[in-house]
Amino acid sequence: MSNNTKVGFLGLGHMGGPMAANLVKAGYDVLAFDPVPAAQDQARQDGATVVATAAEAVSASDIVITMLPNGRIVLDLYNEVLSAAKPGTLFVDCSTIDVADAKQAAELAAAAGHRALDAPVSGGVAGAAAGTLTFMVGGADADFADTLPLLEVMGGKVVHCGGAGVGQAAKICNNMLLGISMIGLSEAIVLGEKLGLTHDKFFDVVSTASGQSWALTSYCPVPGPVPTSPANNDYKPGFATALMNKDLGLAANALRANGVDGQIGQLAADIYNRFNQDEAGKDFSAIVTDIRKRSEGETK
């Protein structure tokens, strides 16, 4: 796809807004739609052409990117706009949604004479703004090749993971593991506290020992050892508990749907689901504060 490519962009929220802005900066002609006026205003300021309906954005585009809250909204929107698209339009859904919904979206697009990829991201709002997201892509080789230049504008790493839905699979496998490792790390930290191990000494040992993890070395859930981690900023996200809760819910669905005996994955989903009821807006690493609170007064 060249810079003459017309890109429809649907969903201009925390992630979609800056992603669309990066496409404009790279010279793409972006037709943008979001029902929220503030998102429209920002997109206009960023140089996108804001249109009145999703169908309007789609009908004039060669490639359509969606960045939406959930699978139901993606499927409803596909049902609404597919008939407005030019034959062979490439639909690229970057939202995080259920693997089954991603496959259904690809089937709907194909049945309407179009092409589709799932291309969820990691890297958060900062990665979206900096154009350094990681894209995990599912779909056909030729469609991947056609989309790659755009994804490389918005991302620092793009991996073609497999066929339809396999990009979403990579995303939920990674985030399930992240949720599990953050809980495990936080339990170890609180146990260390009870046993008289300071956070600095914990970090000093574990960051280079067999318990090492990204959660510890890049995103330490207690203040001090990693100055950039949200723990140093009162757990302002970062990656909000609400989003981790959503992703673990998708992972738990996929465990069940595929007959995987994922006991720890399910437990992690349950733990974040409970934490989300009170602290949805806090960074997910604040789970350590919940574990600490629940462990008060237990020392024998």
Residues forming contacts to ligand NAD in the complex (CB under 6 A) are 10-16, 33-36, 39, 54, 67-69, 73, 77, 95-96, 121-122, 124-125, 239, 243, 246
Q: What is the dihedral of CA 234, 237, 243, 245, to 10 degrees?
A: -20
Q: How far is the CB of 33 from ligand NAD (least distance, A)?
A: 5
Closest by CA to 91, choosing from 30, 157, 36, 10, is: 10
By C-beta, is 202 or 276 nearer to ligand NAD?
Answer: 276
State which residue, 79 or 198, has the beta carbon closest to ligand NAD. 79
CB 52 within 8 A of CB 32: no
Q: Which two tokens stand for residue 139?
A: 């779909």
CA torsion through residues 56, 145, 11, 108, sign: positive
Q: How far is the CB of 45 from ligand NAD (least distance, A)?
A: 15
Out of 86, 103, 157, 171, which one is annotated catalytic? 171
Closest residue to ligand NAD, Cβ-based? Answer: 13
- In angstroms, what is the minimal distance from the CB of 293 to ligand NAD? 25
Q: How far is the CB of 133 from ligand NAD (least distance, A)?
A: 8
Residue linked to tokens 């991603």: 102
Distance from C-alpha of 102 to C-alpha of 86, rounded to nearest angstrom: 21
Q: Which is nearer to ligand NAD, 36 or 142 (CB)?
A: 36
Please say if 171 is a catalytic residue.
yes
Contacts of 298 by beta carbon, 8 Å cutoff, 6+ apart: none
**Nearest-approach distance from CB 163 to ligand NAD, in angstroms:** 21
Q: Give the nearer residue to ligand NAD in terms of CB position, either 248 or 255.
A: 248
Distance CA 62, CA 252 (A): 35
Contact between residue 146 and residue 193 where contact means Cβ atoms under 8 Å apart: no
Q: Which is nearer to ligand NAD, 164 or 189 (CB)?
A: 164
The C-alpha atoms of residue 101 and residue 245 are separated, in whole angstroms, by 18
Whether the Cβ atoms of residue 82 and residue 55 lie closer than 8 Å to each other = no
Task: Show which residues are catalytic.
Answer: 171
